[in-house]
A and B are shown apart, each in its own frame.
Chain A
Amino acid sequence: MIHFVILISRQGKVRLTKWYSPYQQKERSTVIRELSGLILSRGPKLCNFVEWKGYKVVYRRYASLYFCMCIDPDDNELEILEIIHHFVEILDRYFGSVCELDLIFNFHKAYYILDEILIAGELQESSKKAVARLIAAQDSLVETAKEEAGSISNMISQAI
């Protein structure tokens, strides 16, 4: 089971956090501090895994962004590495050549996507197409709602 997902930049800035196991706000800060110290200092050729307090943290670096997932000691690290990649590929498809800035400004969208990939710390959908379809369906519904709102506000502004 995945206990949490953290995205941190090379400077140690938090870009996204999602906790599947209960952690208090204080614990969260400690975890992030400890892990960023541990992971950001690792050289490029070393393992993408870190053993940490009886758990394992699998991380993968994309440009200047680190995707980290904390898992149980008996989970398959290589699989988690690919789950991270799966997530990034879906982000990439959604945003169109995703970059760190997309995630910074649209972190809530990244959350929606993550929610379609992982539920309760498990991979719920391994088909990119299925995820993309669902997200698109949700977005289109939001879009139509927005258009409606837009036309109303137009009418109002015309009335004024």
Chain B
Amino acid sequence: MEQLKTIGRELAMGSQGGGWTGQSKEFLDLVKSIGEARSKAEEDRIILREIDSLRRRIAEPDVPRRRMKEYIIRLVYAEMLGHDASFGYIHAVKMTHDDSLSLKRTGYLAVTLFLSDDHDLIILIVNTIQKDLRSDNYLIVCTALTAACKLINEETIPAVLPQVVDLLAHPKEAVRKKAVMALHRFYQRSPASVSHLISNFRKRLCDNDPGVMGATLFPLFDLITADVNSYKDLVISFVSILKQVAERRLPKAYDYHQMPAPFIQIKLLKILALLGSGDKQASGHIYNVLGDIFRKCESSSNIGNAVLYECICCVSSIYPNAKVLDAAAESTSKFLKSDSHNLKYMGIDALGRLIKINPDIAEEHQLAVIDCLEDPDDTLKRKTFELLYKMTKSTNVEVIVDRMIDYMISINDNHYKTEIASRCVELAEQFAPSNQWFIQTMNKVFEHAGDLLNVRVAHNLMRLIAEGFGEDDEGADSQLRSSAVNSYLRILGEPKLPSLFLQVICWVLGEYGTADGKYSASYIIGKLCDVTEAHLCNDTVKAYSISAIMKICAFEITAGRNVEMLPECQSLIDELSASHSTDLQQRAYELQALLCLDSQAVESVMPLDASCEDIEFDGNLSFLNSFVQQSIEKGARPYIPESERSGTFSVSNYNSQYQHEASSHTLRFEAYELPKPSPTPATPQISVSTRTTDLVPVPETTYYYTENNQASKLPPVSDASSADHGIKLHLDGVQKKWGRPTYSSSSSSTSSEKKTNGVTRIDGVSSPSRGTLYDSKGQQSEVSAEKQKLAASLFGASAGKTEKKLASTQRAPKATTATAERPGVTRAVSPEISKQKAASSPPPDLLDLGEPITTTTPTIDPFEQLEGLIGPTPGPSTLDNSVTTSEQKAPDLMTLYTDTPPSSNSSISSALGDIHSSDKNSQMAKNVPSIKKGPNPQDSLQKDATARHVGVTPTGNNPNLFRDLLG
């Protein structure tokens, strides 16, 4: 009876509450206390307590079903906040068996959120899903299909597949749609399981309901991606669907911001891009509809631009056509000239696609691209680097790679650092104009991102230095090597170097350190000994270093010179012979042994500059044959293979197979250890083979991130690099052109040029020079010439063209200087005003103007006024403080639509919208007329009242809880 009463109370509470029905006071309290938690630790404590109590209560016998439902929702909440609620999973599973839709829905929701598709409990749900898929109630079927999409895995697909296929013909469109989506999911999980159902997708494409048709595009897209040629016949259907959509033949409900079914259009364009790729005939059908969309699409709305962007992607993918390509180029230039960073980003991406077809398109946008490259927004910058990467040629590789490296040095994000470093390496290997430049570039990359690079990159570099660039010119190769040696000896002075780089340095010094006779052996050996003492040095580097010392010694002995053993070298050998690593021990002993040999033996062990020679392995040890023969003649017993000895198998080919297996086994075993050269007999050939271990990657340390190292290393590294520019790099002219100092002096011109491109950029740098804008014209043209030069070196534009641009860019500043004297706040907006351009500035600008209005209001307590409107509510007046703080904070929280797309008349309405939404409550007090759809005041008041009734108040912590998301 007690329980029934509580149910009644809950229900009563549920019906009276305006917004948050159905939950108990306990749950509301929980959410409230989480909301008020000031730290993550406090939040964790609350949730852990909640989990504890739930664990106890959920296991009680005979928990009423409605109460159980709430427990499950509370578990979802705990799980959502990152805690483990696995003890309750089984109860959620049980709840899916319930007959009531409300409980079943909660059960399925919880299960889809809790379980991954390989969870053990899935098997308990499959039966329920099967049953529910057969239900008469289409809502239950829908719920089951949604759950099936998440939960059914490869093994359980056959259990539900027949029923899902049957549902494709269900009278309700919602069910058909979900069945299609479910089949799509099954296809993703296991393509083979639904391969016989492909005709069904084709059939559903002609469904009466646009939603079902739209859903069918997803599986078709995947199928076409996998096999284009089987679907060429559909090109005409897709084109006609797209045409109909673009002509607004679909129901109005599918319109989105006045665009006819844009999401369906985008998907269709993606499919057409696949079908038309490299197919002249198929592309022929597509041009017309693309042209139509380009013409009709509004570029003033975000969604319109999304469709336009997809059109550009499609154009760049299908067989080229001059007319649509022009339209695409035009849209791209609109994107690039836009004020919105989002559109610029899309424009850069689109440009990257279009230049694959016609590289000249980029020329027009040189300055816009350079602006994006210098933009403070990292996302935009990276996208621009991607574009530059795509358009790198041998003529601009130096500029681009230098820029990339500068950026690489400046960032902390290891993931992107790795990516950009490997791109630099790739470009340098592909387009390097000179050996010297190549070496310098690689040095920089290794120095700053060595730990992030793949070991293969290092081996590649060693190989390149050893083999040269494939030209037969020995002189050039040896020049490359000696310049490498020179730069490495210099770099060794740096305090910290990545281990991979040290490996390369050791190897190169060992091979070529004394090759040109410039440095003495003892000097190089001394350097190599220093390397092992550097504290970043690990066993691998030590191994490289000791091997390099061995090589140097060998070359010396071969040349007939006497090797004097430096004391530090001797102590290194002593240290390594007692090392824990057997590999290091072995190398140390080998070196000692080598020192005792005579020069001829040494020469055959370590021939000079033979790293590129192929070493032939003699697996049969045929060179021992004579020795074996001799022994047998002397009466030794012949060798009997192990298998024969044990008498089980005597088939000779099995034998060889066995040996093969055995050898591969030992190899695999060694991969986990440092490589251990096979036991060395005193025969020359084999000990040569041990040398190859130099090139074998020692531990498998591809992509290991040492964040701590990286972080702590950064400051000295950047210092070092700037110092380096002066001493180390002899890049004629390039550094001077791109050196840092030009940035500061170019600020005035950059800001003015930005405007000509329709870009507004707020950076502190440009403001100080604003006053000198009038008289700095001479300097300006000079500096912008600098920028032109960058453009020219990137894009290879003709001089005539750049001059023309220069003239046009100089005109713009005059217009803006008139407004430039205004106080700082309006600065950002002024260019727009002065230009009277149709495109409005993005709302944040207008917010600045709106600021004074909103900050003057908070003298009246908005809540009091609220209460007056709803009638008497127990409103605590202690709220005042928190509310006023929220008001003070409001201005910077106001950017509701930080990305409202620029539209011709939105500037006023969005300004009003911002003021209007700045605070719902103060807005009521001020009686600002609501222009847009806006919040329904009565509604919000109701909600506020309910919230306060349950005790939730907007604290200083988050004053915006009540704020409409759509202001």
B278-312 at interface with A (beta carbon < 8 Å): 302-303, 305-306, 309-310
| B302–A82 touching, CB < 8 Å | yes
| A100–B960 touching, CB < 8 Å | yes
CB within 8 A of A145: which of B35, B102, B142, B181?
B102
| B256–A82 touching, CB < 8 Å | yes
CB within 8 A of A120: which of B7, B116, B150, B305?
B150
- Nearest Cβ on chain A to B461's Cβ, whole angstroms: 25
Complex: how many Å from CA A125 to CA B116?
24
Chain A contacts for B109, CB-based, 8 A? 108, 111-112, 115
Does B258 sit within 8 A of A, measured CB to CB? no
| Known A25-B84, A86-B256, A95-B19: A104·B35 in contact at CB below 8 Å | yes
Which 9 residue pairs across A and B have the least CB separation, nearest first? A78-B306, A64-B960, A97-B935, A62-B965, A129-B253, A63-B963, A142-B102, A105-B20, A126-B263
CB within 8 A of A29: which of B23, B82, B342?
B82
| A48–B7 touching, CB < 8 Å | no
| A77–B967 touching, CB < 8 Å | no
Does B262 sit within 8 A of A, measured CB to CB? yes
Chain A contacts for B959, CB-based, 8 A? 64
| A119–B181 touching, CB < 8 Å | yes
| B174–A134 touching, CB < 8 Å | yes
| A81–B958 touching, CB < 8 Å | no
Complex: how many Å from CA A78 to CA B313?
13
Chain A contacts for B174, CB-based, 8 A? 130, 134
Complex: how many Å from CA A134 to CA B774?
64
| B895–A44 touching, CB < 8 Å | yes
| B947–A101 touching, CB < 8 Å | yes
- Nearest Cβ on chain B to A104's Cβ, whole angstroms: 6
| Binary interface encoding of chain A residues 42-60 relative to chain B, with 1 for a CB under 8 A from any of its CBs, else 0 | 0111111111111000001
Q: Which residues in B have some Cβ–Cβ distance to A below 8 Å?
A: 1, 4-5, 7-8, 11, 14-15, 19-20, 23, 28, 31, 34-35, 43, 66, 73, 76-77, 79-82, 84, 100-102, 105-106, 109, 112-113, 116-118, 137, 139, 142-143, 146, 149-150, 173-174, 177-178, 181-182, 184-185, 188, 210-211, 214-215, 218, 251, 253-254, 256-257, 261-264, 266, 302-303, 305-306, 309-310, 313, 341-342, 344-346, 376-377, 379-380, 382-383, 415-416, 762, 842, 844, 893, 895-896, 898-899, 917, 935-936, 939-940, 943, 947, 952, 957-967
Chain A contacts for B342, CB-based, 8 A? 47-49, 77-78, 81
- Nearest Cβ on chain B to A25's Cβ, whole angstroms: 6
Residue of A nearest to B257 (CB): A82
- Nearest Cβ on chain A to B340's Cβ, whole angstroms: 9
- Nearest Cβ on chain B to A73's Cβ, whole angstroms: 10
| Known A63-B893, A77-B346: A149·B149 in contact at CB below 8 Å | no
| Known A78-B302, A111-B109: A157·B5 in contact at CB below 8 Å | yes
| B105–A120 touching, CB < 8 Å | no
A sample of 16 cross-chain residue pairs with beta-carbon separation below 8 angstroms, ordered by A number, consists of A25-B82, A46-B341, A47-B341, A49-B345, A53-B415, A61-B896, A62-B965, A64-B960, A82-B302, A92-B964, A97-B939, A111-B113, A124-B177, A126-B254, A149-B11, A150-B15
Complex: how many Å from CA A129 to CA B250?
13
Residue of A nearest to B964 (CB): A97
| Known A22-B117, A100-B965, A111-B113: A45·B762 in contact at CB below 8 Å | yes
Chain A: residues with Cβ within 8 Å of the partner, total of 85
| Known A51-B416, A91-B965: A119·B19 in contact at CB below 8 Å | no
| Binary interface encoding of chain A residues 107-135 relative to chain B, with 1 for a CB under 8 A from any of its CBs, else 0 | 11001100100011011111111100010
| B345–A138 touching, CB < 8 Å | no
Complex: how many Å from CA A127 to CA B762?
39
- Nearest Cβ on chain B to A153's Cβ, whole angstroms: 4
| B965–A63 touching, CB < 8 Å | yes
- Nearest Cβ on chain A to B527's Cβ, whole angstroms: 39
| A105–B31 touching, CB < 8 Å | yes
| A124–B181 touching, CB < 8 Å | yes
Complex: how many Å from CA A10 to CA B35?
12
Does A40 sit within 8 A of B, measured CB to CB? no
| A125–B211 touching, CB < 8 Å | yes
Chain B contacts for A48, CB-based, 8 A? 341-342, 898-899
| A79–B962 touching, CB < 8 Å | no
CB within 8 A of A98: which of B254, B383, B965?
B965
- Nearest Cβ on chain A to B935's Cβ, whole angstroms: 4
| Known A60-B899, A124-B178: A102·B943 in contact at CB below 8 Å | yes
- Nearest Cβ on chain B to A157's Cβ, whole angstroms: 6
